[in-house]
Structures are given as C-alpha cells and as structure tokens.
Amino acid sequence: MDLGPYLLFASLEGLVHAAVLSLIALGLSLVFGVMRIVNVAHGEFFMLGAILTWWVSNFVMGNPALGFLLALLIVPLVVGIIAMFSDLLILRHLKYDPEVTIIATIGILYIIQQFALMTFGPDARPVEQPFNIRLDLYWFGFSAYKFFVIFSAIILLFCVWLVMAKTKFGLILRATQLDSEIAQAFGIPISTVYSLVFGVGAAIAAVGAVLIVPIQQAHYLMGGEPLLLAFIVVIIGGLGSLKGTVVAAMLIGISDGIISVFFSPNLAKILATLLVVVVLLIRPNGLFRTIRI
C-alpha cells in the first residue's frame, strides 16, 4: 500500500477508537460537570459493559446480530442501574466530598474488577461481529461493522446533545451543574439528579463497550487504558464541555490510531499525555471550556 491509502486506513482505525473514546469521555465529563466529582471507577463500568455483552451474546444462540442487539438494549441499562446503586449506597453518604469520593471510587473500581475476575474469569472473551461485511474501499477492504460503530457513536452523541440543549431534563441538569444550591431552592431534587447522572454516565460508557467488544474482546483489565485516555480527553476538551469532549476525543483517537499504526501504541500514549501537559500550561481550563454544551 502507498502512504496515502495507508494513512487513510490508519485514520479510519483511529476514528473507530475515537468514536468509542468520545462516548467514554462523555460519560466521565457529564458526571464531573454536573456532580463535580472524579469517577475513577468509570473505566470499570466500561469493562463491565464489555463483559456483560459477551455474557449476553453467549446466552443467545443463532444469529450473532440478535445477541448484539439484545446486549445493546439491556447492557447499558444494567450497568447504569449498578452505577446508580453505587451512588445511592456509597457516594451520596460521602456528600460528594471531592477527595473522599476519589478514594471511594477507587474502592468501587477494585470491587467491580475483582467481581468480574471471579465471575467471568481472567481470559479475554471474543464476541462475534453482528454482521460480517467488508466494504471494498479500492485500496483496502474495511469492516462495515466499524463504520456502524462510528455511526452509532455519532447518533448517541447527537441524542445527548439534544437532551442537554432542548429538553426540560437537560435544563434541570444544566441548572444543577451551574448552582446546585439554588437549583434546590427552585424545587430540583438534586440527589435524584445526581444518581441519574451517575447512572447515565456509566450507561453511555457501557454503550461504547457494547460497540467495541466485537472488535476488541472483553477482559477484566480492559478498563484502565480507556480511563486514562478519557481523562486526557476531558482535560484537553475542558471539563463539562460536550463539544470540547468530542473534538478532543477525535484529536486523541485519530492521532492515537495513526501513531500506533506507523510507530508504536506506547509512543501514542506518551504523546497524548504530553499534550495534556502542554494544554494545561497554555489553557488551564481546557481548549473549549468557554464554550458550553
């Protein structure tokens, strides 16, 4: 392959990861934006989504698309409910104190990770692609499923934007984010809002997981790297900014894809982390913090 097509290939691969990464980062950023807490367990909700997808797809015999669709419907729901319970049982009682919450979510991280290890074992679990079509792109073939991943992520991002910008629920979230005390004084039940946001944040990451397992395999340690990348994305994009999150995820995801293909995945991570340092030096609030939603 020539350099041009090779670059295109690497960018497409990068775009797939960028799509999933933007979902994970969006969940993290939503939780941080509204609740002002750092959820270190976020990557484990992603991992849980992936493992549950494997479990559901094993459960359903016959056409792999059936299992996948079922997983897409119920896995985010289940992960969201688990996250809501961890908010109800743990975080709420800590009054969302920033430092204490970090420690608590580290605890949740290990609980979920060990639970996954004990229940599903240490092996990487493959999930069959729901459909196996290769699109001929003249220079190389590319899996149609990967386009589906990109497309689904775009749809979900658009839906989240729509909810945030155009609905009453979105307005309530934004008001809670801006001033939770005054939000209460106007009848907004902020603890219910917090539980929902924590659940929705985890569920969005779980959607990313359902989409990625047919490409990547499920494993109980797979939550660490996406968490790191999501942090990088959220810092670069500006905490709580939806637009910034998407742009930064594209930037990180695509450059990660290209650098990994041409050089090495490790170099890609090193450069991404370096970028965080640079951005924090020039724009401590992130690239897009001034632009909301």
Q: Which is nearer to another protein, 23 or 172 (CB)?
A: 172
Q: Which is nearer to another protein, 89 or 165 (CB)?
A: 165
HSE at residue 193, side-chain half, CA atoms within 13 A, is 23
Binding residues for another protein (CB under 8 A): 168, 171-172, 174-175, 178-179, 181-190, 292
- For the bound state, the minimum distance from the C-beta of residue 248 to another protein, rounded and expressed in Å, comes to 20
Considering the complex, state which of residue 223 and residue 237 has its C-beta at the smaller distance from another protein.
237
What is the SS3 assignment for 71-133? HHHHHHHHHHHHHHHHHHHCHHHHCCCHHHHHHHHHHHHHHHHHHHHHHHCCCCECCCCCCCC
- What's the CA gap between 291 and 245, in Å, rounded? 11
Dihedral sign, Cα of residue 113, residue 118, residue 120, residue 123: positive
Nearest approach, Cβ of residue 38 and another protein (Å)? 22
Residue pointed to by tokens 């993290």: 28
For the bound state, the minimum distance from the C-beta of residue 227 to another protein, rounded and expressed in Å, comes to: 28
CB of 67 to another protein, least distance (A): 41
Task: Report the b/e string of 72-91 with b at 16+ CB within 10 A.
Answer: beebbebbbebbbebbeeeb
Q: Of 69 and 174, which has the nearer Cβ to another protein? A: 174
The encoded tokens of residue 74 equal 């119920």
Nearer to another protein, 34 or 172 (CB): 172
Nearest to 212 by CA among 195, 232, 229: 229
* Min CB(75)–another protein separation in Å: 32
* Neighbouring residues of 115: CB distance < 8 A, sequence distance ≥ 6: none
Looking at the Cβ atoms of 113 and 176, the one nearer to another protein is 176
Query: Minimal distance in Å, beta carbon 181 to another protein?
Result: 6
**Is-contact 2 137, C-beta < 8 A?**
no
Please work out, in degrees rounded to the nearest 5, the angle formed at the alpha carbon of residue 280 by the alpha carbons of 278 and 285: 145
For residues 214 and 240, which CB has a smaller minimum distance to another protein in the complex?
Answer: 240
In angstroms, give the least distance from the CB of 103 to another protein: 21
